[in-house]
Structure 1
Amino acid sequence: MDRRRFIQASSLTGGALLLPALGTAPPAAAREAVALPPVDDPLYREPIADPAAIPRFADPLPRPSRVDALGGGDQTLVMGPTRQDLLGGGLGLTTPVWGFGVRRRHGGGLSSAGPAPVSYPGPTLVAHRDRPVRVHWINGLPHRHLLPVDTTIHWAFAHTGHTIERDGVPAVVHLHGGHTEPDSDGHPDAWYTPGGAVGPRFDGTRFHYDNSQEAATLWYHDHTLGITRLNVYAGLAGFYLLRDPHELSLIEHHRLPSGPYELELVIQDRMFHPDGRLAYPDVPADSPDWPGGPSVQPEFFGQVILVNGKAWPYLDVEPRQYRLRLLNGSNSRFYRLSAGGRWPFPVTLIGTELGFLHRPHPLDGPLVLAPGERVDLVVDFRGLEGQAHTLTNDAPTPFPDGDPVAPPADQVMRFRVNRARDERVPEPRLPRTLRRGPFRIPRPPARTRRLLLFEGTDEFGRMKPLLGTVERGALEWSDPVTEDPGLHTAEVWEIFNTTPDTHPIHLHLVRFQVLDRAPFTADQDPRTGALSNIAVGQPQQPDATERGPKDTVPAPPGQVTRIKALFDRRGLYVWHCHILEHEDHEMMRNYRIR
């Protein structure tokens, strides 16, 4: 697979991208939808829309609805189809998507009116530490996928006789970052369909989240074997914010922005057909042995940037501090965020995926966010009355050594400081420390494992990224478990990346400490990928943006990334690359805590 050809085909370049008045929307009163101009791309069977024809900064940032689960208890969420105006700009186009809706309880029973309207992103669940929440995830998806399904890879229905037309779309929800028992973790083989078909690890549709962890920015998303990339792309994702007494005390004493000044933002990239439908590549970039039909891609990089399900929105803010909970929910795209290469206003990192940093860390350069990573920021707009600043992205595709980002994907959203300051709300004063000390996994490691990131090809000549071990080489999803930590033991995992790209590695269940990274050289068996004669260079400590509790870590090419985790629940979990195209084909492995 010549990945450069794929990237060049996917990146829309040329003079047609620079249209006058891109930030000017057609009249809002426009009643008839006008199809967007098409652009040819050989990776799509149908024409795709020119991203540059979509107005930017013409619509306000949507805010996901919030579900108050602070007291614990039961919730019922339904996965289902809907239509939303993702493109905005007065174009009059709506997009079929999938999302989540809350089914309310009345008088002790479920409402006969059915679920509340389904939305993409799904509603934000707000829970409290040590107050369990039980969620019944109902699969109400249709019997036809929105996107092209590749049945040649190892996916949910492989060798089962099930079909989407007969049984419906399989789905299973994973609470990403959740400290969750295995039967509620959303294992990729625990899928189920609206027609009653289930996967080999199915254990019911009611998931128990005991919330036995500190305050954190979690998110929930589909995790079905072999079609996660498609189900998430269709819209199956949402936030899950976990509070604890420490965070609530900081809010109560005006040490953190809260209420309308705390916002969750999920950044995702998409492509569209001229009539507004989601577009996703469905032919291989370079595969002479391809038998035909839809094909998985090596990566996907869309040129239309959505924030909370809206293309290039704006946010009107007061001249005060805001707390922004950012999530990179894209399939493959990394973001290197700034405001034109710098920060013309103070931006302070206060937390990583699974909790606060020891001390607030002012950013002095762009912020890199890999797929699946989250950050907790405080942004200070004081003194900027009347100004507008655009959040920009200059991360290459693939990251870090791919092609420069092509417009208009180099812009994300706009902040407009044009709202009157509400003087009734006290201005928060960030504390000097947010946790008692630097985050550490204090227990000494019982074992150090040497793990492998490898890039091979499948039987059709397509790129096939794999995980494995240094000693055994690359391994498939169905190969026997090789990572089997003992219960209540800590381990150091050394992740050797022999591929040309950075991979965001995610471990289910655990939070981990990023120890260091170091360059390495080695001899590699060209058939198995196993390494020998390894020479590791000088380790480099992680920078301040990785010194909080993590569940996803970027592993750069040619380096060994070392993490340390405590494994404190028995059962079967998975670890994988969070580039969803890689996870589906098939850069994911089971691990078992014994």
Structure 2
Amino acid sequence: MNLSKFVDELPIIPIVKPVGRMDGVSYYQIRLQQFKQKLHRDFPETTVWGLEGNYPGPTIEAHRNQLIKVQWINELPKRHLLPVDTTIHGAEPNKPRVRTVIHLHGGVVQPESDGYPDAWFTNGYKIVGPDFTRKIYDYPNMQRSTTLWYHSHAIGITRLNVYAGLAGAYVIRDPEEKYLNLPKGKYEITLLIQDRSFNEDGSLYYPCGPEPPVPGVCPSVVPDFFGDTILVNGKVWPYLDVEPRKYRFRVVNGSNSRFYSIRLSSNQPFYQIGTDGGFLESPVVINEILIAPGERVDMIIDFSEHIGENIVLTNNAPSPYPRGNPVDVDTEGNIMQFRVSKNLSCYDYSIIPFKLNTIIPLQARDARLERNLTLVRETDRYGRAFLLLDDKRWDDPITIKPLLGSIEVWTLINLANSTHPIHIHLVNFQILDRQPFDVDYYNETGEIKTTGPAVLPDLNERGWKDTVRANPGEITRIIMRFVPYSGLYPWHCHILEHEDHEMMRPYEIIT
């Protein structure tokens, strides 16, 4: 399908307002709905799912250390927009086809407000898992100012619900941030990037199964999904008119499986100021940024020297990453366009500070425990490839039980053939290093035999993270402190097709 690029203006995602107060704090009611929305100039309106009549959902803005309450209200129809595979765990025939639970990705919240995958609810609040399900979620925002995002997290259908449109941004602000004098107001914009494919009539296309088909299984889960168009804030290949000045962009990779390696066609640099868990210590000047599904990037682009230019934000990441097919430069190689066409409305007093933050490194010597955890590729009972964490499935007994307040080092041993973005709920962590190892030797002996030196994380990864890229043929070491809550949380690959097909495990913080 040949769609014209850069013919629709980038939508600015609205900010949702509280409906009132509850127990002395701001209270939100956010409805999950099905509706029609125009995603491209040349399409009729497309049926999508979203929140409060918006795809993607509206942005929630909160202040650090100020509790808010959110009621997520499921008003979705009984029939799913997309093909549901009832052979995978959590989506069996006896489960409702349409159900959801919302997870605040990167949020530091108690277990019952985390959006546990089994804690789904349907239209009318038929709920399961009474220990984990509640109608009103508490978000205390006791964490650094940063960009989070929320999305559906119902077990077995996360990939479908997010693809249908159930996702949005969540921004935590800190009053101290104003002293940094960063671009703000209309010069601070969230970019939620997703890939989609469409049928000829403009409706969403998601494959019914892999090619060749799985005998006896239709619909069937696919190992990955890569759309042939790129959407930003719900528009296909949009453009943004900008002034010749600095802009701050909060970038969220909300795609199911696609990595993005972003550059500017003008060859100018990005000034990355933050990552998943907030500000870096100092800006990182970089010409290309790799963003895995679930990761966020906080960056500044300075358009002041590019008056009159049209600058394309491009993508060069293979799919699957890093050993898959190269991008088609005419389709998924383009993300959006910046048109430096507006007059400067006022002098740009914003700056790119040299010092942003102080990050105190966690020390491996303080770790109570070091865990070796494998990422493996197996075959299910239908002969389909599927990925596992530590060679275990979601319902296997819990084997990771860190003590509340303790520090642990996790060594992620990737025995598979692609990069897995590993997300751990509740905690922020730091990346210690990555190191190549002999996969065949490990498979034969169960021992790690390194084949090269340990390499420090990239400069723009040396902050607080909640999602880490674990590359094939490498061990990736991360360190974290398990605070401030005890209880049950998931950790999983954030390729949504993988987490839906068993690449997700619970862990329990104990006292």
Band of TM-score, shorter chain: over 0.9
2:447 & 2:486 partners in 1: Cα distance?
A: 35
Q: Secondary structure at the match of 1:505?
A: strand
1:361 & 1:439 partners in 2: Cα distance?
A: 18
What is the aligned partner in structure 2 of residue 193 from structure 1? 122
Cα pair 2:430 2:463 within 8 Å, conserved: yes
Following superposition, the deviation at residue 524 of structure 1 comes to: 6.7
* 188 and 271 in structure 1: CA distance in 2 versus 1, 3 angstrom threshold: same
Following superposition, the deviation at residue 258 of structure 1 comes to: 0.1
| Higher alpha-carbon Rg | 1
* 404 and 299 in structure 1: CA distance in 2 versus 1, 3 angstrom threshold: same
2:396 & 2:445 partners in 1: Cα distance?
A: 19
How far does the alpha carbon of each residue in 1:366-391 deviate from its partner, in whole angstroms, 9 at most, with x for none? 11000000000010000211111111
Cα pair 1:322 1:380 within 8 Å, conserved: yes
- Give the letter aligned to residue 63 of structure 2: H
How far does the alpha carbon of each residue in 1:431-467 deviate from its partner, in whole angstroms, 9 at most, with x for none? 210013x452358111100000001111111111110
Residue 535 of structure 1 is aligned with which of 449, 467, 472? Answer: 449
Establish whether residue 222 from structure 1 lines up as the match of residue 152 from structure 2.
Answer: yes
Cα pair 1:523 1:532 within 8 Å, conserved: no
* 455 and 287 in structure 1: CA distance in 2 versus 1, 3 angstrom threshold: farther
Q: Secondary structure at the match of 1:582?
A: helix
Structure-2-length-normalised TM-score: 0.95
What is the aligned partner in structure 1 of residue 12 from structure 2? 63
* 245 and 272 in structure 1: CA distance in 2 versus 1, 3 angstrom threshold: same
Cα pair 1:354 1:549 within 8 Å, conserved: yes
Cα pair 1:353 1:549 within 8 Å, conserved: yes
Cα pair 1:495 1:560 within 8 Å, conserved: yes
Following superposition, the deviation at residue 583 of structure 1 comes to: 0.5
How far does the alpha carbon of each residue in 1:291-322 deviate from its partner, in whole angstroms, 9 at most, with x for none? 14211000000011000000000000000000
Residue 491 of structure 1 is aligned with which of 400, 408, 419? Answer: 408
Establish whether residue 150 from structure 1 lines up as the match of residue 75 from structure 2.
Answer: no
Establish whether residue 418 from structure 1 lines up as the match of residue 351 from structure 2.
Answer: no
Establish whether residue 119 from structure 1 lines up as the match of residue 42 from structure 2.
Answer: no
What is the aligned partner in structure 2 of residue 548 from structure 1? 463
Structure-1-length-normalised TM-score: 0.82
What is the aligned partner in structure 2 of residue 322 from structure 1? 247
What is the aligned partner in structure 2 of residue 397 from structure 1? 319
Cα pair 1:214 1:244 within 8 Å, conserved: yes
How far does the alpha carbon of each residue in 1:136-169 deviate from its partner, in whole angstroms, 9 at most, with x for none? 000111010000000010024x37x3433xxxx1
1:203 & 1:152 partners in 2: Cα distance?
A: 24
Following superposition, the deviation at residue 586 of structure 1 comes to: 1.1
- Give the letter aligned to residue 14 of structure 2: S
* 524 and 346 in structure 1: CA distance in 2 versus 1, 3 angstrom threshold: closer
What is the aligned partner in structure 2 of residue 296 from structure 1? 221
1:206 & 1:153 partners in 2: Cα distance?
A: 29
Q: Secondary structure at the match of 1:66?
A: coil
What is the aligned partner in structure 1 of residue 236 from structure 2? 311
- Give the letter aligned to residue 586 of structure 1: E
How far does the alpha carbon of each residue in 1:375-424 deviate from its partner, in whole angstroms, 9 at most, with x for none? 0001000021111111111110110011111231111100000001012x
- Give the letter aligned to residue 306 of structure 1: L
Residue 138 of structure 1 is aligned with which of 41, 56, 73? Answer: 73
Establish whether residue 368 from structure 1 lines up as the match of residue 290 from structure 2.
Answer: yes
Cα pair 1:121 1:236 within 8 Å, conserved: yes
1:332 & 1:490 partners in 2: Cα distance?
A: 30
How far does the alpha carbon of each residue in 1:570-592 deviate from its partner, in whole angstroms, 9 at most, with x for none? 00000000000000001000000
- Give the letter aligned to residue 100 of structure 1: L
1:480 & 1:533 partners in 2: Cα distance?
A: 24
Following superposition, the deviation at residue 198 of structure 1 comes to: 2.1
Establish whether residue 441 from structure 1 lines up as the match of residue 353 from structure 2.
Answer: no
1:209 & 1:163 partners in 2: Cα distance?
A: 28
Following superposition, the deviation at residue 67 of structure 1 comes to: 2.7
Q: Secondary structure at the match of 2:256?
A: coil
Kindly report structure 1 stretches of 4+ aligned residues shifted beyond 4 Å: 68-72, 522-525
- Give the letter aligned to residue 272 of structure 1: F
Q: Among the aligned pairs, what percent are the same residue?
A: 48
1:366 & 1:404 partners in 2: Cα distance?
A: 16
1:334 & 1:491 partners in 2: Cα distance?
A: 28
Residue 94 of structure 1 is aligned with which of 25, 31, 45? Answer: 45
What is the aligned partner in structure 2 of residue 82 from structure 1? 35
1:531 & 1:285 partners in 2: Cα distance?
A: 35
What is the aligned partner in structure 1 of residue 479 from structure 2? 564
Cα pair 2:441 2:448 within 8 Å, conserved: no
Residue 104 of structure 2 is aligned with which of 175, 178, 183? Answer: 175
What is the aligned partner in structure 2 of residue 247 from structure 1? 177
Following superposition, the deviation at residue 562 of structure 1 comes to: 0.4
* 193 and 530 in structure 1: CA distance in 2 versus 1, 3 angstrom threshold: farther
Structure 1: stretches of 5+ with no match in the other structure? 1-49, 102-117, 469-473
Cα pair 1:286 1:462 within 8 Å, conserved: no
**How many positions carry a matched residue from both structures?**
501
- Give the letter aligned to residue 122 of structure 2: T
What is the aligned partner in structure 2 of residue 22 from structure 1? none
* 531 and 133 in structure 1: CA distance in 2 versus 1, 3 angstrom threshold: farther
What is the aligned partner in structure 1 of residue 497 from structure 2? 581
Q: Secondary structure at the match of 1:260?
A: helix
Cα pair 1:439 1:548 within 8 Å, conserved: no
Establish whether residue 233 from structure 1 lines up as the match of residue 133 from structure 2.
Answer: no
2:405 & 2:213 partners in 1: Cα distance?
A: 46
2:445 & 2:125 partners in 1: Cα distance?
A: 45
* 571 and 277 in structure 1: CA distance in 2 versus 1, 3 angstrom threshold: same
1:375 & 1:92 partners in 2: Cα distance?
A: 30
- Give the letter aligned to residue 56 of structure 1: K
How far does the alpha carbon of each residue in 1:222-251 deviate from its partner, in whole angstroms, 9 at most, with x for none? 00001000000000000000011221332x
Cα pair 1:336 1:368 within 8 Å, conserved: yes
Following superposition, the deviation at residue 522 of structure 1 comes to: 4.6
